Structure 1
Amino acid sequence: MSRASSLMPKALQADAAAPAEGDGADPGATMTRRIAEAITAAIVERRLMPGTKLAEQPIADIFKVSRTIVRQALMQLSRDRLITLEPARGAFVARPSVEEARQVFAVRQMLETAMVRQLARGITAEQVEELRAHLRAEASAVQRTDVPGRTRLLADFHIILARQLGNEVLAQLLVDLLSRSSLISLMYQSSHSAEHSQEGHVQIVDALARGDGDEAVRLMEAHISEVESNLRLHPRVADLAAALAPAAGP
């Protein structure tokens, strides 16, 4: 599965559960999924920036498939709001407005503060250790300036918290929100702001380990507000072939 699988939109997660190629899967559906996953990963990992045109023929050439297969993948991503389809112009990586960015972060504030308050009431030692292991992976990625790795891990932290509550509906809502956040914020983090995000995660886990729900809520509010305040929306147009070639394979 793609390195961005934990942030894969639910339409693609459903496809990913289908039989693998060679196990009775429709080859067209398999390639549709592969292309959609490759584009999702390229967006999350900063290889395709907001506003980049996703021309059908170049993508078809990269993956050696028909334009019909590419069109199906683009339609899936459009439903997940990762790309926009414009009549007579084609497909583009979504470019969220400032107002949409505010709304996404407002929803995250509501969901995630309630989430950590509930988790603080009953978090186990095993769950704390799971979070601390994740924090070590985050710190390593930030230290190495591993942009794709740190982007994925910093986002996955929030999904792990939801899954520790045993609430898969909440986890899926966060997957969707964080996929959109990747277009708004995570793609534009500097090493400095990524380091601050990682430090915020450490403080949240410390509060959860103490069972201090009020402090966990305060820290989560501050953390999401800081991420939002550090937005740097300066998109550049990437080369489509260079962004997708690693996933296309031989």
Structure 2
Amino acid sequence: MPAVRKPRSSSAAEVDEGLAEAAQTDGKPGSASVTDRIVESITTAIIERRLMPGTKLAEQQIADIFQVSRTLVRQALNQLSRDHLVTLEPARGAHVAQPSVEEAQQVFAVRGMLEAAMVRELCAVITDAQIAELRRHLRDEANAVVRTDVSGRTRLLADFHVKLARLLGNEVLAQLLADLLSRSSLISLMYQSAHSAEHSQAEHVEIVDALEKRDVRAAVRLMQQHLGNVERNLRLNPRVPDLASALRPPSLPTPPTP
């Protein structure tokens, strides 16, 4: 008698959809190891907001999606854990990470230091051809914003910062920023308030304008302001009321202080 399969939960279906879509766009077969492809697919799904913080990543489910063994899936999850995108807990398995407020503040502090130094150096060496390349990227960003393409604009707005590092020819810096941007995406998913993608895109334009003028002071100032604005749009210090205020029905008057 064949085994009866339990119905898939809605959350499991969402993981299937998110990973399957990313898996179709992570490169040609054989272009990377299977483990790397799984890592890339999960990372892409997180950045593009198809996998939310706290989502359970069941090994067998992922193995079925990629048609691989659970051993390879486990290797990918271990790598993602080292990159701080996934948490692994005994008896609970793997989940998309949920960064703390302290971690969020530290990530933006590191980005501020790195990216200010990056644009300072880039001002001295950037070419007209590279400016043109950045302008094309800005047009793609603007088009994604106009189309309300949430996943596309999220990826493009993050890629802008990595692209600046690659223009320096510094692949180590580019990879470091890519890792920080992935963690920033998780942070935004948890703490971002009503954030204007149009505003971020406009700030990118101002940064490129300063780079084109080779204006070091303006480029550094605009990058610092941009990262500061992004961080300020995160609810990192939400007001937590006391328990009595939180649970008291609004129709009841506040009791007098004894």
TM class by shorter chain equals: 0.7 to 0.9
2:184 aligned residue? 181
Question: Secondary structure of the residue that 2:87 maps to in structure 1?
Answer: strand
Cα 1:80–1:3 change in 2 (3 A) is: farther
Judged with a 3 Å threshold, the aligned counterparts in structure 2 of structure 1 residues 186 and 113 are, in CA distance, closer, same or farther, namely farther
Residues 64-113 of structure 1: per-residue CA shift (max 9 Å, x gap): 33322221221121111110101111000011101001000000000111
Alignment partner, residue 212 of structure 2: 209
Tell me how far 1:160 sits from its aligned partner.
1.3
- Larger Rg belongs to: 2
Higher helix share: 1
For the aligned residue pairs, the C-alpha RMSD in angstroms reads: 2.7
Point out where structure 2 has 5 or more consecutive residues left out of the alignment. 1-19, 237-258
Q: Report the AA paired with residue 217 of structure 2.
A: D
TM-score with structure 2 setting the length: 0.75
Partner of 1:61: 64
**One-letter amino acid of the structure 2 residue matched with residue 88 of structure 1:** A
How do 1:1-250 and structure 2 match up within 5 A?
A: 21=30, 30-185=33-188, 193-231=196-234
TM-score between the two structures when normalised by the length of structure 1? 0.77
Q: Secondary structure at the match of 2:88?
A: strand
Paired residue type of 2:232 = S
Alpha-carbon offset, residue 3 of structure 1: 9.4
DSSP-derived class of the 1:105 partner: helix
TM superposition shift of 1:188: 7.0
Aligned residues, how many? 215
Give the gaps of 5 or more residues in structure 1.
9-15, 234-250
Identify the residue that residue 239 of structure 1 maps to in structure 2.
none
Kept after mapping to 1: 8 A contact 2:86/2:96: yes
Distance 2:172 2:34 in 1: 28
1:144–1:20 Cα change, 3 Å: closer
Question: Higher relative CO (CA 8 A, sep ≥ 6), structure 1 or 2?
Answer: 1
For the 8 Å contact 1:145–1:191, the answer to whether it is kept is: no
